[in-house]
Amino acid sequence: MMELRSRTFLIIVLCMLLTACGDKNIVNSIKFVQTIGYDAAQNGVASSAVIANYEEQGKAKLEFYVTESKSVYDSMPKLNMKLDFPIEYGQLRMALFGDSFARRGITTAIESLIRDPKISSRMHLGVADRAALELLNIPENRRDPYFLSDMIEQNMKYGNLPRMNLHLTFFNFYGDGRDFFLPHFTVERDEIKLDGIALFKGDKFKTKIGIRDSFLLKLLLEDSKNGSVMVPMTGANQTREEYFLMNSIGSKPTYKVIRTASPASVAIHVKLNAQVKDVPQWIDLTSEDQLALLEKSIEVYCESEIQKFISLCKRNNVDPLGLGDLIRSRLKVWNSQEFEEQYKSLATTVRVNARIIRIGAGG
Amino acid sequence: MLFGEGDKSLSNEISDKYTISPHLIVFPLYVSMVGVGILTYERRVIEHAGYNAWISVMITGISMHFLIWMLYKILSSIDDSRDIVTINHKLFGKFFGNLINFAIVLYFVFGAFIKFKVYMEMIQVWFFPSMNFLPVSIVILLLVYYAVSGGIRSVTGIAVWATIISCVSIIPQVLLTFPFLYPMNLLPLLNHSASDILLSSKDMAFEYLGVETLLFLYPFVRTPEKSQKWAHLIMILVTLLYLMILILAFMFFTEEQLRHTIWPTLNMIGIFEVPLLQRLEYLAISLWFIKIIAGISIFIWAACRGMKIAFHLRPRISLIVFLTAITALSHFIIDHRTVERVSEIYSNVGLYFLYAYIPFVFLCVMIRRKLTGPI
Amino acid sequence: MVKNTFTYNAIRGNDMADNQKTEPRDIAQFLKQLKQSSDFKTIQLSIGDKQLSISYFKTLIDEKLLQSHVILPLQERALDLDFRQLEDLKTWIPIEDIEMTGQVESIQAKLLKGCAIAALDKEVCKYALIQLASIEGLRKNNDTENEFSVVGPKVGFVESIDTNIGLLRAQINIPTLVVKEILVGRTSKTRVAIIYIDGVTNKQNVQTVQQRMEQIDYDVIFDTSQLDQFISDNSLTPFPLFLSTERRDRVVYALITGQVAVVSDGSPYFITGPSTLFDFFLSPEDYYLPWILGSFFRMIRIFGVIFSLFATSMYIAITTFHYEVIPRDLLEPLIFSRRNVPFPPLLEVLFLEITIEFLREAGARLPTKIGQTLGIVGGIVIGQATVLAGLTSNILVIIVAFSALASFATPIYKMSNAIRFLRFPMIFASSIWGALGLFIGIGFLLVHLTRLTSLGMPYLVPIHPLRVRDLKDSFIRPSYQFSNKRPSYLRPESSVKYKPGKVKRKNDLDRE
């Protein structure tokens, strides 16, 4: 009896299953937006989606779709009207903001990205020095929909970019006493070039720093593996300025709060292990004294440049280093507005401790 | 086979064949305590105490040890059938006792429903936003039927698998979030008032609901007195687990960001990529399914067991009734707000159940024992 | 199980009338009945003043033996008058197994097992049963055929129960090896032996096996694996609940760990039980290799099974529902390979999986040489052609081939069949609800496994119920120093197998 009843029940269930499939997204019958660009338009936002069309093995053809809408939110339904297959954001890896759009504020755009569970929090954001669409048109020749995100990834690993992605952007955006920053792109001889970092205040693009300052930022934030910078020699008996190339092998910044009451003061200490290969001719890399001289030059140069960089931040009232957060963590009660007022008068002392641990082959 | 006894006799005696070893109690307790909540609780806990909420987790954990101690005291104080139903009969008489028993049974069914519904909501958001959920709920509940109808042995069996699976999915998480952690977030260590921290502890208690399955599991444990140390052990482990994930989340997110994140644990898992799969959170959600099934099975099992000893109802019938009720409820409750409200009610009821009813019974049992000797 | 016995009993009840008709009470009636068949012969010999008649089934006995050992010695003494009674045959005939009886039942049984019956004309109701059974038709070669191993003995069993038991006794050289024989099969009357080691195997298991064996009512037992089904705890499962093997080392290992072995006459396969899921992933070779290698290969095998079960369903789940999880570097090859495929992933997978199943079935039925050719034709030509024709994606061909390969990694054929079968429910489940469906399938699988028992012992032990000490010989193969105890879940009567001496090896720095 029992068996029979459960069997009929099973049959009913199986019949139901036939009509009960989940939402299908068969991989070759959807369109992936892989890179998206946002630009300010007359009344709203122009979003451009880059979609790869895999026609031939190894060669993707990039397709561009541009829609204008009142806000970021309805760009997707509008995009769907231009496509033969449903559009999906699950493989989105890069969002690029046009200059004017970034200056107007990008909260709505990035919030709509983080709210979509399909979008990876590892995706990258970036700012172009012109309209995003214009910049996105350039990698079309390269037929790689992930060109920009790969470029950021590569530079984080082997270059001067500090680590960043959508999650970290939000970390800095929502974090008290922190401001976020994004990579900044420009065009040089018809090629896209990463030329520094865009510093944001709140959600608005405030100022841009160059690639050398971006190394300093990396140095101050994390272990700056593989970053490199040109350092001028500081010698007593020197007539003309000479430079040498310093590669960072590893570094460790430590922050110490000296005073929390206004004006607060912070001591920054950076330990830096470096490699030096390309030096002016007269320097003998096997000599202890001369290495000490090089170390000294690195220290002096980095210290002064970091001070300059911090004062630049103070001038623009942006806090990419999270100094506010640092003070907050030492105080029971902390007010972001109050801190902002005293941010300009915040005193910082910087000490860099450089050590050359590799000198390449052949002195 | 259901519940170990022959179909004809509905006696409450449990033959030796269907009992479980004392150390096996850790598995059903683990899965009934750790549910979908572990994916979301960070956001709820910080509501009052902010980033000091880790203290609240510890406070709740310690209070749970007291509760376990009380539960064991209550259950070991009577000689024959050692479960809450008999105790209620003895303390409050047949009628009122049964009233309370029915409430307890309903509470367990309700708990199973909440587990199920919250998981389905997650599936809806991450997997299938526009799917008809009736067929899938029926199939899932068929699975629960299959598990529960195997009796305590198959229920603990699926709990063992669930525990293994959740350990497998938690260890990589710990290791892989490391590069993204900012320990400075934890500072300052104490900037919230004691009342805030206590309020957060109250929120945290919701995550521990499920420990009360012990009330029905107890008589199924061979030499149940020996299982007390295992119960305390698993409570320590669960507390450590909650604490660890909470602290990782604190270092991973800033406070404001955490308030904006609905599924913090999932977002943490989602930050890494392995060569064959990106978006590990999808794998985690699927793996969590086994855990949810185990949790629901244990709750439903406890409810059926309660019905059987309180009202002499054949467990298979109550099992079918409960599962049908859950299917119907989850079909008709569709909007997120209602689910939120319902789970709010559940957590409040659970809170009173744990912190008011159990101490009350404890006191009654102790007084009775003082006055009339062993009951 | 309860249900099974019930049906057998029912059959027994109905056939009672038939039975009585076929079982003659009278010996004369019995002989008359036998004379209907043409291979039943009777010869008359006159010895002295007496007439001796010898009857036998020509097909069941060794006729050379009959001539040289029975007829010849009798004819030589044809004039001897000493022959007075039937018992004298014992001293004349150079065959030791001669039994005197008057019972119809035992005459019938023995005659059908290859005895000749001799009777004196005068002496009614007294017969001599002379054992002359022929062993022709059984193979000489006892190499293992299906469970091959590179290292280790290749001794397998043959179709004769006596040879098989002899093979066992040669390796378990103790008097406590007990062989209990019973007859099973209404028509075949097959000899079935229940083998265990007294003082090691739990008596309850032996009793259960024996009880279940005795309850079997079936006509012909062709193979031991049929018995496996009759005595299994649950017939609604694709999993084998008893291990069946043709390897001697496997059976010996099972016996010394405290399991019961069963073999039927005419089958080269033994079944051993109670078995756990892990028993099916052990290969004797694990124990012949150093333990590190043995453990590694065992883990590879377990991984192979998991891969084989879930690889294609994962493919369906990912390509149909969860495109997000595809790593970006794999995205292009995957989309490209599926670009021209006109079917949804489910049909694509089913097409290939069924092709593979056809190949396997055909390969198993064909002679070895043709089978190999077929494998090549099927594997390479069909695979290549379907990809070129755009019916399947080439990535899928790789996955399906891999999972087919991995399913062969299980050393026990029955288990690899179960895995072959279980792939299909998984494929359907994941084609309906993607990863969720896949895990619903896994959930059913896990609950099913936890509910299974083998001779009343949980199938998943030592994982559930958890026995930490027995876990060491499950996922890995421990060093012999640590595997000297029998697994406790078998509840053996003595738990120590051997006592390893403390090995002290100095690996110190220059022996300090």
Q: Using an 8 Å CB-CB cutoff, list chain A residues near C330.
A: none
From C131, C148, C176, give the residue that closes a domain: C131
Q: Is residue C242 part of a domain?
A: yes
Task: Answer yes or no: is pLDDT of C71 > 70.
Answer: yes
Residue A27 to residue C328, Cβ atoms within 8 A: no
Please check whether residue A177 is in contact with residue A323, taking contact to mean a CB–CB distance below 8 angstroms: yes
Long-range contacts from B166-171, C-beta under 8 angstroms, 24+ separation = B166/B30, B166/B34, B166/B287, B166/B288, B166/B291, B168/B287, B169/B269, B169/B283, B169/B284, B169/B287, B169/B288, B170/B241, B170/B245
Looking at the fold, whether A61 and A194 belong to one and the same domain comes out as: yes
So what's the pLDDT on residue C18?
Answer: 41
Cross-strand bridge partners of residue A261: none
Distances (CA, A) of A276 to A216, A284, B367, C126: 17, 12, 81, 112
Task: Answer yes or no: is pLDDT of C7 > 60.
Answer: no
Q: How many domains does chain A contain in total?
A: 2
Cross-strand bridge partners of residue A91: none
Work out the burial of residue A253: count CB atoms within 10 Å of its CB; fewer than 13 is exposed, 13-18 middle, 19 or more buried: buried
Within the 332-351 window of chain C, which residues sit less than 8 Å (CB to CB) from chain A?
A: 332-336, 338-339, 341, 344-345
- The radius of gyration computed from the CA coordinates of chain A, to the nearest angstrom, equals 26
Residue A147: pLDDT band (50, 70, 90) is: confident
Looking at the fold, whether C301 and C369 belong to one and the same domain comes out as: yes
Q: Using an 8 Å CB-CB cutoff, list chain C residues near A91.
A: 323-324, 326, 328, 331
Q: Which amino acid is at B343?
A: S
Task: Answer yes or no: is pLDDT of C213 > 50.
Answer: yes
Q: List, for residues C143-195, the tens digit of each pLDDT value.
A: 877 788 888 888 889 888 888 888 888 888 888 888 888 988 888 888 899 99
Task: Answer yes or no: is pLDDT of C401 > 60.
Answer: yes
Q: Which of C323, C334, C341 sits opposite A25 (nearest CB)?
A: C323
Q: Is residue C16 part of a domain?
A: no
Q: Is residue C490 part of a domain?
A: no
Contact with chain C for residue B24, Cβ under 8 A: yes
Residue matched to tokens 């694509």: C348
So what's the pLDDT on residue C47?
Answer: 79
So what's the pLDDT on residue C4?
Answer: 41
Residue B188 to residue A331, Cβ atoms within 8 A: yes
Using an 8 Å CB-CB cutoff, list residues of chain C that contact chain B: 321-322, 324-328, 433-436, 438-440, 442-444, 446-451, 458, 460, 463-466
Looking at the fold, whether A274 and A183 belong to one and the same domain comes out as: no
Q: Is residue A256 part of a domain?
A: yes
Residue A14: pLDDT band (50, 70, 90) is: low
Task: Answer yes or no: is pLDDT of C14 > 70.
Answer: no
Task: Answer yes or no: is pLDDT of A159 > 60.
Answer: yes
CA-closest candidate to residue B199, choices B65, B35, B60, B337: B60
> The domain containing residue C194 runs over which residues?
161-275
User: Which residue stretches of C66-202 are H helix?
Assistant: 72-76, 89-92, 104-112, 161-171
Residue B265: pLDDT band (50, 70, 90) is: confident
Residue A23 to residue B129, Cβ atoms within 8 A: yes
Q: How many domains does chain B contain in total?
A: 1
Which residues have C-beta within 8 Å of that of residue B367, sequence separation ≥ 6? none
Contact with chain A for residue C315, Cβ under 8 A: no
- Decide: helix, strand or coil at residue C219: coil
Q: Which residue has the higher pLDDT, B277 or B283?
A: B283
Looking at the fold, whether C26 and C108 belong to one and the same domain comes out as: yes
Looking at the fold, whether A83 and A133 belong to one and the same domain comes out as: yes
- Report the C-alpha gap between C249 and C255 in whole angstroms: 10
Q: Using an 8 Å CB-CB cutoff, list chain B residues near A19.
A: 135
Looking at the fold, whether A189 and A248 belong to one and the same domain comes out as: no
Per-residue b or e along C261-298, where b marks 16 or more CB atoms closer than 10 Å to that residue's CB: bbbbbbbbbbbbbbbbbbbbbbbbbbbebebeebbebb
With helix as H, strand as E and coil as C, how does C20-61 read?
A: HHHCCCCHHHHHHHHCCCCCEEEEEEEECCEEEEEEEECCCE
Average pLDDT, chain C: 83
Looking at the fold, whether C326 and C423 belong to one and the same domain comes out as: yes
Residue C466 to residue B24, Cβ atoms within 8 A: yes
So what's the pLDDT on residue B116?
Answer: 93
**CA-based nearest distance C211→chain A, Å:** 27
Looking at the fold, whether C446 and C305 belong to one and the same domain comes out as: yes
Residue B279 to residue C324, Cβ atoms within 8 A: yes
From C457, C486, C502, give the residue that closes a domain: C457
Looking at the fold, whether A103 and A168 belong to one and the same domain comes out as: yes
Residue A247: pLDDT band (50, 70, 90) is: confident
**CA-based nearest distance C323→chain A, Å:** 6
Residue C12: pLDDT band (50, 70, 90) is: very low
Looking at the fold, whether C262 and C228 belong to one and the same domain comes out as: yes
Task: Answer yes or no: is pLDDT of C505 > 60.
Answer: yes
**CATH no. for residue A358?**
3.30.300.210
Residue C130: pLDDT band (50, 70, 90) is: confident
Looking at the fold, whether A231 and A323 belong to one and the same domain comes out as: yes
Q: Give the chain B residue whose CA is nearest to the CA of A255.
A: B184
Q: How many domains does chain C contain in total?
A: 3
Min mean pLDDT across B36-50, C13-27, C388-402, C411-425 is at C13-27
Q: Is residue C497 part of a domain?
A: no
Looking at the fold, whether C266 and C379 belong to one and the same domain comes out as: no
Min mean pLDDT across A102-116, A308-322, C103-117, C190-204 is at C103-117
So what's the pLDDT on residue B365?
Answer: 87
Extended strands (E) in C83-170: 98-101, 115-120, 127-131
Backbone angles phi, psi at B78, to 5 degrees: -110, 160
A243: phi > 0 → left, psi -120 to 50 → alpha, else beta; which?
A: beta
- Report the C-alpha gap between A291 and C146 in whole angstroms: 73
The arithmetic mean of pLDDT across residues C36-64, rounded, is 82
Q: Is residue A1 part of a domain?
A: no
So what's the pLDDT on residue C19?
Answer: 41
The arithmetic mean of pLDDT across residues C400-406, rounded, is 88
Between helices B227-252 and B26-33, what is the axis angle to 10°?
40
Q: Is residue C485 part of a domain?
A: no
Q: In what order do the strands lie in the sheet with C115-120?
A: C40-47, C50-57, C115-120, C127-131, C98-101
Min mean pLDDT across B305-314, B345-354, C495-504 is at C495-504
> Strand A265-276 relative to strand A347-358: parallel, antiparallel, unpaired?
parallel
Q: Is residue C154 part of a domain?
A: no
The arithmetic mean of pLDDT across residues C211-221, rounded, is 90
Looking at the fold, whether C304 and C268 belong to one and the same domain comes out as: no
Q: Give the chain C residue whose CA is nearest to the CA of B149.
A: C451
Looking at the fold, whether C359 and C453 belong to one and the same domain comes out as: yes
Residue B286 to residue C435, Cβ atoms within 8 A: yes
So what's the pLDDT on residue C25?
Answer: 60
Residue B135 to residue A176, Cβ atoms within 8 A: no
Q: Which residue has the higher pLDDT, B339 or C377?
A: B339
Q: Which residue has the higher pLDDT, B326 or C98?
A: B326
Highest mean pLDDT among A70-74, C144-148, C496-500: C496-500
Looking at the fold, whether C369 and C437 belong to one and the same domain comes out as: yes
Classify residue C502 by its DSSP letter: P
CB atoms closer than 10 angstroms to residue C323: 21
Looking at the fold, whether A95 and A149 belong to one and the same domain comes out as: yes
The arithmetic mean of pLDDT across residues A127-132, rounded, is 89
Q: Which residue has the higher pLDDT, C348 or C49?
A: C348
Residue B154 to residue C451, Cβ atoms within 8 A: yes
Looking at the fold, whether A226 and A134 belong to one and the same domain comes out as: no
- Decide: helix, strand or coil at residue C191: strand
Q: List, for residues A196-216, the tens digit of each pLDDT value.
A: 999 998 888 988 998 888 988
Highest mean pLDDT among A144-158, C111-125, C303-317: C303-317
Q: Is residue C355 part of a domain?
A: yes
Residue A171 to residue B254, Cβ atoms within 8 A: yes
Looking at the fold, whether A204 and A258 belong to one and the same domain comes out as: no
Distance of CA A13 to the CA centre of its chain: 51
Min mean pLDDT across A144-158, A223-237, B284-298, C345-359 is at A223-237
Q: List, for residues C92-126, the tens digit of each pLDDT value.
A: 788 878 888 878 888 888 888 788 888 887 666 77
Looking at the fold, whether A187 and A288 belong to one and the same domain comes out as: no
Chains that touch C (3 or more CB pairs under 8 A): A, B
Looking at the fold, whether C294 and C442 belong to one and the same domain comes out as: yes
Task: Answer yes or no: is pLDDT of C21 > 70.
Answer: no
Q: List, for residues A251-277, the tens digit of each pLDDT value.
A: 899 998 888 877 788 899 999 898 887
The arithmetic mean of pLDDT across residues A106-135, rounded, is 88
Contact with chain C for residue B316, Cβ under 8 A: no
Q: Is residue A298 part of a domain?
A: yes
Q: Using an 8 Å CB-CB cutoff, list chain B residues near C463.
A: 160, 164
Looking at the fold, whether C295 and C269 belong to one and the same domain comes out as: no
ipTM: 0.92
Chains that touch B (3 or more CB pairs under 8 A): A, C
Looking at the fold, whether A241 and A279 belong to one and the same domain comes out as: yes
**CATH no. for residue B282?**
1.20.1740.10
Task: Answer yes or no: is pLDDT of B175 > 90.
Answer: no
CA dihedral A153, A156, A161, A166 (to 10 degrees): 60
pLDDT more than 70, % of chain C: 91
> The domain containing residue B91 runs over which residues?
2-7+14-372
So what's the pLDDT on residue A5?
Answer: 64
Residue B127 to residue C460, Cβ atoms within 8 A: no
Distances (CA, A) of A247 to A223, A228, A278, B104: 13, 4, 10, 68
So what's the pLDDT on residue C304?
Answer: 92
> The domain containing residue A345 runs over which residues?
222-363
So what's the pLDDT on residue C93?
Answer: 81
Q: List, for residues B51-107, the tens digit of each pLDDT value.
A: 888 999 999 999 999 999 999 988 887 766 677 888 888 888 888 989 999 999 999
**CA-based nearest distance B301→chain C, Å:** 14
Q: Which residue has the higher pLDDT, A125 or C45?
A: A125
CB atoms closer than 10 angstroms to residue A363: 10
The arithmetic mean of pLDDT across residues C429-441, rounded, is 92
> Strand C127-131 relative to strand C98-101: parallel, antiparallel, unpaired?
antiparallel
Looking at the fold, whether C234 and C118 belong to one and the same domain comes out as: no
Q: Which residue has the higher pLDDT, A100 or C364?
A: A100
Looking at the fold, whether A253 and A308 belong to one and the same domain comes out as: yes
Residue C433 to residue A22, Cβ atoms within 8 A: yes
CA-based torsion, B329, B332, B336, B341: positive or negative:
negative
Q: Is residue C504 part of a domain?
A: no
